[in-house]
Structure formats: structure tokens, C-alpha cells
Amino acid sequence: MAQATTQTVSISIPDKSAFSWKNLWIALAIITVFEIAVNVYERTFAFAKGLDYFTPDYQTYWMSILYTELILEPTTLIALCSWLWVTRDRAMENLAPAEELRRYWNLGLFVVVYTVLLYWGASYYTEQDGTWHQTVIRDTDFTPSHIIEFYQSYPIYIIAGVGSMVYAMTRLPQYAKAFSVPYAVLVGSPLMIFPNVGLNEFGHTRWFMEELFVAPLHWGFVMFGWGALAILGTWLQICPRVVELIKQVYYGKPATPPAVVLNDPEKATDPALCEV
Amino acid sequence: MKIFNCETGMKKLVSIGGALLLSGLMLAPMSSLFAVQGMGAKSQEAFLRMRTVTFFDTRFSFTPNNRVKVGDEFTCTGKVMLMPTWPQEIPFSGISFFNFFVPGPQVLRKAIFVNEKYFQFNSVVLEKGGVYEYKMINQARTPGIWPVGPMVSMEEAGPFIGPEEFLTIEGSTGGFTNPVKTLLGNTIDLENYGEGRMIAWTLLTTAIAVVWLVYWCSKPFTRRLGLVAAGRKEDLFSPMDRQVCFLFTIGTIVLVAAAAMITRAQYPITIPIQETKYYVKPLPPEPALIQAEVTDATYDVPGRTLSFHLQVKNIGDKPVVLKEFLTANVRFLNPDVPGNTWNENYPEVNGGPMKVTPSEPINPGETKTLEVSMQSAEWENQRLTMYHESTNRFGGLLFFTDTSGTRQVFAIADQIVIPKFGATIGGGM
Amino acid sequence: MQQVAAEAEARALERKFDIVVLVSMFLAILSGFHIHQMLTAGDWSFWIDWKDRMWWPVVAPIMDITFPAACQAILWTKFKAPIGATFSCAGLFFGQWMNRYWNFWGWAHYPLNFVFPETLLPQAIVLDGVLMITNNFVVTALIGGELWGWLFYPSNWPMIAPYHVPVEYYGQLMSVADLIQYEYIRTSTPEYIRMVETGTMRNFAGGVLGVSAFFSGFCSVIMYFIWWYFGYFFGWTKFIKHSKV
């Protein structure tokens, strides 16, 4: 018997609370309070304690932050991904449409959180680094601005990006058995900005003594930043499946069963599915 | 099927992590918020700081109190010598800027004079071996305690940093103005000149862009994917959409053209950014009192003592003494020279006494070999012990004076120094 | 009634997803564009004294047409939404202002007239409009790309003209922009590092800006083509099976 390529079922409408903004507001509030605290700390201790690497105060006020970050961040990433993996959906072929739709909503909020953190890292703190380095003398790889930018804001968005991708891979049929190229680029390319710091520090130590922001030394960051454009492809993959599920859940229209999406995820990316 | 509330779980992890970090921040001592640290020169290699640009005769007009009010002017004067033998490892382009370290425009640079008469605006081209005098006039702007000091920036080589002081600026910035008279006859305040205009144009162009975006994004967005795939053009654009498009496109071009023309009428006289480089001749050489040569040098590691033999011939007509050795903003004074004592106005680091044996003056025509020895914790404090680096050659300035007070500055540019890791050597070799 | 309620909820949910899509696109594109722009054309954007007649009107438009072109490639071809250029440039502008205001001015105390960013929004609206009117990316590249280069300086002249008023200072001729950079100390960005016009370009009949704008327009056309196809790549909806990686 040929496998059904569409599925018509009678589905009860999910409760509105399944698509609530509440979790996003909470996440944004935590992020905003945290980032404000970081900025207050910088303004209090960067000029006051952060200009001379070789002072005991520098170790107390700045290197301690770095060591805390280097412990907390990988721990958080491993814990998050492990937990997502352990609690994965092991029977996705039976996933109910309303539940799949709810998970796409969660994924959407997760992606928004990722892009908010990406903004803080790649936009705010990276240009702030220019404010710092064009104003004072660079005397260490671990300047106050770097401790916040490279070693805090970049890992934090990496945790969110990788976490969102692992969420998708462990809970959504579209991502369970195949890698999405745009999603991998969206997460992986900004992720590579972090190892590129190694090139940056080597260059500033060995080759390039001037604080020119547009120096070719920095163009690795530029290249990896381009990957953020893959948000376009990511949504082009997700939107057709989401609209298809909305039509199925709310209008009773037939939709591709999850078992088919599992094996052929590109089938669910046809933009014609968005026709309402 | 179990519904996994991963969103909450993720938030819990982030909350815990964030709370830990925040509590760490709050537990950090909040005292001495304004106890400012130095400028970061110590991160540069010892050989760079000792053998490239040496600052001497540095004076700040605000010492010893180190206090000024917002709006007060102060000066920083001194000399620099670019070592005659420049380390091969450091690029030498000559293109330099007599600069001033301060973390941000907390003080304003009002003027820099090089060799008294030349006002430095653009960058200058300097020579190896040259001595240049500078006078920097600055104005206090932002209250706080700030490390400040002169520096020379050289293209490709980077910053060369002079001695620092911590300056306390008292008062408040409220009411601080920076008036300047233009060649058109009007007086402007650089603190906010042109700002209102800039903000108005920014807001206007941003508002137009926001209206454009809101117009399109207020329509259902995702379903457009389906409409495009199905070729339903009539559902994608209304006649009003096309009119809006023409209005914004043509209207923006007209607005920009009009604004530019109006601006041109408002500012008919403008000049481009001024950029050039000037060649500045070094100061004429000082009268030669001596000829000297360092024959060998050692650094006793456990004893923290730099010692060297110096063969000196007095070619002047008066007896000469060795008063001082200065390197990397650290000064060692010879206590055997009468009146040669540390002054609280000196911004450099006091390295301690310099022992010179024999200590008697060198008479005219005489050639003597001096043993110069400096035992000091500052070799380590200032990170000037070189045996960790890939080149073990030191540099610095020796100051000789004769009985009339005439001074000669002699540069040790490039002297090999052998470290001794054994037992302590007491006072000389 | 139930059907009507269900349809209303479906519309509301669709609208929520629209917001999620648009907000995340805005922030992601902002982030990528800002880090790209700040490290290829950033110094000219940071400082009023870098806004010259040669480098700034050439480098900035060429580097800044990239993300608009890529966004247009997807937002127009897939969504027929004529917002690609304005969307990305508005995001960039937001990111730039957040830093200039809170950090350059708020933290380091540089006056805002020293550190304000140039605006790309007028030329972005025109680029979007040209694409919608012509419905053809080749024509948009040629006409829109040229306009992008030509509109840059006049779009910003209303803001920067006051800083080109001449001043005599200690016997030297400076523009107000030069004087601001002289006085408001940037420790690690000494004067020689400015990449600005050195010596009047050997122009004919004095048209420095015209030459720069024409060159900028030409390069913007080329960049538009390249980045339009980059946009296609970033809009690729490909999946690769786990077993093949």
C-alpha cells in the first residue's frame, strides 16, 4: 500500500495558551536585566580597574569574570543540549499536528531569543569593543571589552543558537533526520566568529599594532557574520510547514504526515503550501 | 504523549547561570570605584620600551597636587629621543604623532608644540636619533580620576608611552563649553555644534523609512509566500501600493536633492578634511662633553641588579660626572652627585640609586672605565627583565653633566646584556 | 460559529508567526550587517573627521549595498515584499545608534557630533522602490546601484556640511571636523591612521565628489549582482541527510 502523502484528521483546536508570548517576555526580561547589569559593571570598573593588566585589581575585577564565564558557559551548553537530547521525542512519526504546531511556536520564540542575543553580541558589544580599543591602549588579549564581548556575549548566543537547533532536531520531524543547510549556517557561521578570535588576538599581538577597525585582520569576523542572512532560508523552510499545520489544525485541510516529513523534509518547504 | 516544556527548562538554565553571574558581580567589592590603574605600558616588551622612544625631562604643570577643576588648562612638557639604532624587530616608518594618553576625551587637547615653534596638527615625520621637545596644552573636561601621560604614536610600530600621572578632575561637566571662532566670523561650541541639525535629519529620514516598513509589514507577511508561488499578483499589490511606491521613491530623491541644495546655500563656504604630513627637524645636538662606549653588561637575576662597564673619555674642558640613567620611564639617580635627589614632581618611576665606581668626576682629557650598577625591584615590577624575550639587548639614556651644569644625553641604544642566574652579587661586578 | 472562531484564531496565530519571522529576521540581519559594516567601513562611520570626499563616499556605499541586495533577493522574489534594502539598513542604523549613544557618548563621553553615523535610509528606500517598479533585478542593479552610489553623499551632506566650515587654529587651517578630532582625544587612533583624501585628487575641473560618486556607483552595481546571488544562497532551502554528513 502506498504511504499516504497527506493526512486528513479531525483535530481539536489547541488552547490559546499554547501560543502565548509569555515565555518570550520572561526570556527578554532576564536578558535585558542581565545586559544592563553587565553595562553597569563595565561603566563602574572598566576605566577604574581595567586599564592595566598587571595590577592585582585587574585579576580581581576582570580575570575573575573571565574564569567564571569559562566555567559556566560550556557547562550550560552541555547541560542544555544533553537535557534536550535525553528528553527527545522518540516517536516523531506519531506526532500530532497541534503538538507539532506548538513546537514550531516554541522554536520560533527560541529563534527570536537567539537573534536578540546575536544582536547583543555581534552588534552592540562588537562595536563597543571599537569604543574601547580606539580610546585606550591595548595591553592584553583579555581586555575588559573582550571579556564581555568575546568570552561572554558570543558564547551566550552560541548556547542559544545551538540549543534552538538541538531543540528542532529532537522535537520536529523536519529536522530530525536531516540537517537544514540554512539553519546550520545561521547557527554555525556566527558560532565560528568565536574561534576566529584566535586569529584576531594573534594578529594584534604579532602583526598589527594600530587600532584600525577596518583592518583586513578583522575580515574573518565579517565573513562569518554573513551567515546571519541564513535566517531567510531558515524561515523559507519553516513557514510552509507552519502554514500547512495551521490549515490542518484550524481548517481541517489535509497536510503531509510527520512520517513523510521525517524522510523528506524538503517536501514540506514548498512555498505553495503557504497559500491560504 | 508527554509534552515537553523545553522553553521553561531553557529559561531555568539561563536564569540560574545569569543569577550566578549577577551575584558574583554584586559580591565584588564596590569600594574604591575611582581608584584608577595605569595605562598598560607594561604589556609592551622590555626591549621595545627601552630601545625605541625614550621620554625625558617630563613635567606636568599640575604636580604635586594632581588636582584640577573642569575647564582648567594644564601642560605637559618634555623631550623624546628616538634611539639612533632602532631595533630591527620594530618597524620604523618615521610617521608619528605626538599624542596624549587619556581614556577618552576626559581632557581635551588644546595644542601641541614640537620644538617650541611648530604647532602639530597633522602627523609628523621624525628621524632616528633625533631629539624633539614637546609642549602639550590640555583642558580638563570630565570629573574623575584619570591616568594621563604623553605618548608618541608611530605608524606601523604602534604606541610609545611616556610616564604617567593620575589626575583628579573636580567639578561637574554641566555648563562646560568649548567655544571656537570660525573663519566665517561666528563662534560655535564644539560640544554640541551641528547636533540639532544632525538629529533632525536623522529622525526625518528614519521616520520615512519606518513608515515604509510599517506600511508593508502591516500586511499579512507569511502568506505572501503562497501568493507568489501561486502567481496571484492581483492579491499581492493594490493600486494604492504602487502609488505609495512611486511617492516614496521619487519623493525621497526629491527630498534628498532639495535638502542638499538648501544645505549648500546655508553653508556656501566649506573646505575638505585637511590631511598632510610634515617633516620636523630634530633639535640641534647638545654640546659633546664626553665620548662613551658600553663594553659589557650583565643582569643579576636574584639580585635584581643591572650592571655595565662604561668607558668614558672627557672631551670637554670641565670635569664631568654621570648623574643619571633613564630607561622605560624609570630613573636611577647617582646619589654621589651633590643635590641629585628625587623630586616629587617627577612623573617617572624612581628606580633607586645608581652606583658609579669610581665616583669621582672625570677630568678633561681623561679616559676612565666606570662600573655602573643599579639594584632595584623595579626591574621586575616594571617587567624590564629581558631574559624572557627573544632579544636580550637593553637601552636607555645616560645623563652627564659638567661643573657648569651643561648636560649631555648619551644614548645606549643596543647593548647586549647577559643574565646571571646564580648567587647574589653585591654592588658591582 | 466554531468555524468562525477557529478561523479567527488561525489568523491570529498566522499573525503571531509573522511577527516572530519579521522580528527574528530584523535582529539577525541587523547583527550580520552591523558586524560586516563596522569592520569594512566602520571607522568612516564612527568619526566625523573620516567623512571625507574620497574614501568615505566610495567604501561605505560599496560595502553597504551587500546586505540590502541579499535581502532583496529573497524578500522580493519569494515574498514580493519591497523592503529588503530598507529593512536591513534600518536594522544597521539601529545597531549603530545604540552603540554611538550608549557607548561612544554615554560611556567614553565623545560628543555626539563627533560619532554620529551616516544614514543609508534614503537610498535604501529608493533601491526598494526601483526593484518594485521594475520587477527586475538586473535593471535594479544598474539603475538602483548607480543611484545608491550617487545618493550617498547628498543624503548625508545636510548633516556633515557644518563640520566642513573652516577654522584657523594656532595658524593652521582646519575644518571643524578636523578640530573636533584634534581636541577630543582618541588615544589609540592617532591622526595618521585616518584614511582620508590626501592631496586633492588629480581631478578635472575640481569635481572630486563626482568622480568618487561615479566610481562608487559602478562598484555598487557589481556588488549588487554578486550579493543578489549570495542572497539566493542564504535563501536555499536544502536539507542534507545525517548519513551524508
The mean of the pLDDT values for chain A is: 93
Q: How many CB pairs under 8 A join A and B?
A: 164
Q: Please check whether the domain covering C12-244 is classified as CATH 1.20.1450.10.
A: yes
Decide if pLDDT at B224 tops 60: yes
Which helix (H) or strand (E) is B229 found in, with range? helix B223-230
Looking at residue B423, its pLDDT comes to 59
pLDDT digits (tens, 9 = 90+) for A108-125: 999 999 999 999 999 999
Quick one: average pLDDT of C222-236? 97
Looking at residue C203, its pLDDT comes to 60
Decide if pLDDT at B247 tops 90: yes
pLDDT digits (tens, 9 = 90+) for B85-99: 999 999 999 999 999
| Measured torsion, CA atoms of residues B180, B185, B186, B188, in degrees rounded to the nearest 10 | -20
Find which of C7, C38, C56 to mutate to test the A interface (most A CBs within 10 Å of its CB). Answer: C38
Quick one: average pLDDT of C154-182? 97
Looking at residue A210, its pLDDT comes to 84
- Exposure class string for B388-407: b at 16+ Cβ within 10 A, else e: eeebbbbbbbbbbbbeeeee
Q: Residue B35: pLDDT band by 50, 70, 90 thresholds?
A: very low
CA distances from A61 to A141, B169, B339 (A): 16, 24, 43
Would you give the distance in Å from CA C41 to the centre of its chain? 9
Write out residues 3-42 of B within 8 Å (CB-CB) of C.
Answer: none
**Looking at per-residue confidence, does B2 or A142 come out higher?**
A142
Flag if A118 and C108 touch (Cβ within 8 Å): no
Of C24, C40, C187, the CB nearest to A214: C40
Task: Quote the minimal CA–CA distance from B67 to chain C in Å.
Answer: 20
Looking at residue C243, its pLDDT comes to 84
Other beta carbons within 10 angstroms of residue B288's beta carbon come to 11
Q: Residue A139: pLDDT band by 50, 70, 90 thresholds?
A: confident
Are the beta carbons of C39 and A218 closer than 8 angstroms? yes
A45 belongs to a structural domain? no
A103 belongs to a structural domain? yes
Looking at residue C198, its pLDDT comes to 84
Which helix (H) or strand (E) is C14 found in, with range? helix C2-40
C169 CB within 8 Å of a chain B CB: yes
Of B123, B141, B208, the CB nearest to C191: B123
Q: Residue B339: pLDDT band by 50, 70, 90 thresholds?
A: very high
Residues of chain C neighbouring A43 (CB-CB closer than 8 A): 107
* Count of H-run helices and E-run strands, chain B: 7, 24
Residues of chain A neighbouring C93 (CB-CB closer than 8 A): none
Nearest residue in chain C measured CA to CA from A43: C107
Residues of chain C neighbouring B153 (CB-CB closer than 8 A): 188, 190, 192
Residues of chain B neighbouring A30 (CB-CB closer than 8 A): 11, 14-15, 18
How far is it, in rounded angstroms, from Cα A10 to Cα B422? 90
Decide if pLDDT at A44 tops 60: yes
Decide if pLDDT at A218 tops 60: yes
Nearest residue in chain C measured CA to CA from B117: C170
Q: Residue C157: pLDDT band by 50, 70, 90 thresholds?
A: very high
Of B180, B206, B213, the CB nearest to C83: B213
Residues ≥6 apart with Cβ < 8 Å to B83: B51, B52, B53, B54, B128, B129, B395, B411, B413, B414
Flag if C27 and A246 touch (Cβ within 8 Å): no
Quick one: average pLDDT of B60-69? 96
Task: Quote the minimal CA–CA distance from C38 to chain A in Å.
Answer: 7
What percent of chain B is modeled with pLDDT above 90? Answer: 83
pLDDT digits (tens, 9 = 90+) for A49-86: 999 999 999 999 999 999 999 999 999 999 999 999 99
Decide if pLDDT at B17 tops 60: no
Looking at residue B7, its pLDDT comes to 46
Residues of chain B neighbouring C147 (CB-CB closer than 8 A): 253
Residues of chain B neighbouring A76 (CB-CB closer than 8 A): 13-14, 17
Looking at residue B78, its pLDDT comes to 98
Looking at residue B3, its pLDDT comes to 37
Residues of chain C neighbouring A109 (CB-CB closer than 8 A): 20
Residues ≥6 apart with Cβ < 8 Å to C11: none
Range of the domain at A193: 66-274
Decide if pLDDT at B429 tops 60: no
**Looking at per-residue confidence, does C245 or B162 come out higher?**
B162
Decide if pLDDT at B13 tops 80: no
> What sign does the CA torsion over B370, B375, B381, B385 have?
positive
The mean of the pLDDT values for chain C is: 95
Q: Residue A207: pLDDT band by 50, 70, 90 thresholds?
A: confident
Flag if B190 and C111 touch (Cβ within 8 Å): yes
**Lowest-confidence range among A114-118, B1-5, B120-124, B198-202?**
B1-5
Write out residues 118-137 of A within 8 Å (CB-CB) of B.
Answer: 135-137
Q: Residue C245: pLDDT band by 50, 70, 90 thresholds?
A: confident
**Lowest-confidence range among B176-190, C30-44, C136-150, C196-210?**
C196-210
Task: Quote the minimal CA–CA distance from B147 to chain C in Å.
Answer: 12
> Domain count of chain A?
1
Task: Quote the minimal CA–CA distance from B104 to chain A in Å.
Answer: 5
Q: Residue B8: pLDDT band by 50, 70, 90 thresholds?
A: very low
Nearest residue in chain C measured CA to CA from B161: C187
Quick one: average pLDDT of B13-41? 46
Task: Quote the minimal CA–CA distance from A267 to chain C in Å.
Answer: 10
- Exposure class string for A163-200: b at 16+ Cβ within 10 A, else e: bbbbbbbbbbbbbbbbbbbbbbbbbbbbbebbebbeeb
Which range, B5-9, B247-251, C207-211, is most confident?
B247-251
**Lowest-confidence range among A14-28, A58-72, C144-158, C186-200?**
C186-200
Looking at residue A7, its pLDDT comes to 59
Which helix (H) or strand (E) is B169 found in, with range? strand B165-170
pLDDT digits (tens, 9 = 90+) for C172-195: 999 999 999 999 999 999 999 999
The mean of the pLDDT values for chain B is: 90
Task: Quote the minimal CA–CA distance from A222 to chain B in Å.
Answer: 23
Tell the residue number behind the cell numbers 583624501, with chain if given.
C197
Find chains touching chain B: ≥3 CB pairs under 8 Å.
A, C
Looking at residue A9, its pLDDT comes to 53
C130 CB within 8 Å of a chain B CB: yes
Looking at residue B155, its pLDDT comes to 94
- CA-nearest of A138, B93, A128, A213 to C194 is A213
Looking at residue B21, its pLDDT comes to 47
Find which of A137, A239, A244 to mutate to test the B interface (most B CBs within 10 Å of its CB). Answer: A137
Q: Residue A208: pLDDT band by 50, 70, 90 thresholds?
A: confident
Residues of chain C neighbouring B191 (CB-CB closer than 8 A): 111
- Region for C199 from its dihedrals, namely left if φ exceeds 0, alpha if ψ lies in -120 to 50, beta otherwise: left
Q: Residue C200: pLDDT band by 50, 70, 90 thresholds?
A: low
Q: Residue C210: pLDDT band by 50, 70, 90 thresholds?
A: confident
pLDDT digits (tens, 9 = 90+) for C42-52: 999 999 999 99
Flag if B37 and A52 touch (Cβ within 8 Å): yes
- CA-nearest of C219, C217, C227 to C72 is C227
Task: Quote the minimal CA–CA distance from B59 to chain A in Å.
Answer: 22
Of A57, A99, A209, the CB nearest to B158: A209
Task: Quote the minimal CA–CA distance from B178 to chain A in Å.
Answer: 20
Flag if B252 and C157 touch (Cβ within 8 Å): no
Decide if pLDDT at B304 tops 80: yes
Would you give the distance in Å from CA A15 to the centre of its chain? 28
What percent of chain C is modeled with pLDDT above 70? Answer: 96
Q: Residue A6: pLDDT band by 50, 70, 90 thresholds?
A: low
Flag if A214 and C16 touch (Cβ within 8 Å): no
> What interface predicted TM-score (ipTM) does this complex get?
0.96
Flag if A231 and C25 touch (Cβ within 8 Å): yes
pLDDT digits (tens, 9 = 90+) for B99-129: 999 999 999 999 999 998 899 999 999 999 9
Of B95, B151, B273, the CB nearest to C177: B273
Flag if C161 and B159 touch (Cβ within 8 Å): no
What is the domain-level CATH number for residue A184? 1.20.1050.50
Looking at residue A231, its pLDDT comes to 98
What percent of chain A is modeled with pLDDT above 70? Answer: 96
Asked, as a colleague might, if the bond just before B143 is cis with ω within 30 of 0, I would say no
Flag if C191 and B100 touch (Cβ within 8 Å): no
Burial class (CB in 10 A: 0-12, 13-18, 19+), A248: buried
Nearest residue in chain B measured CA to CA from C93: B206
Q: Which amino acid is at C75?
A: L
Write out residues 83-102 of B within 8 Å (CB-CB) of C.
Answer: 95-97, 99-102
How far is it, in rounded angstroms, from Cα C75 to Cα A239? 13
Cell of A57: 585589581
Flag if B11 and A34 touch (Cβ within 8 Å): no
Quick one: average pLDDT of B157-183? 95
Other beta carbons within 10 angstroms of residue A40's beta carbon come to 11
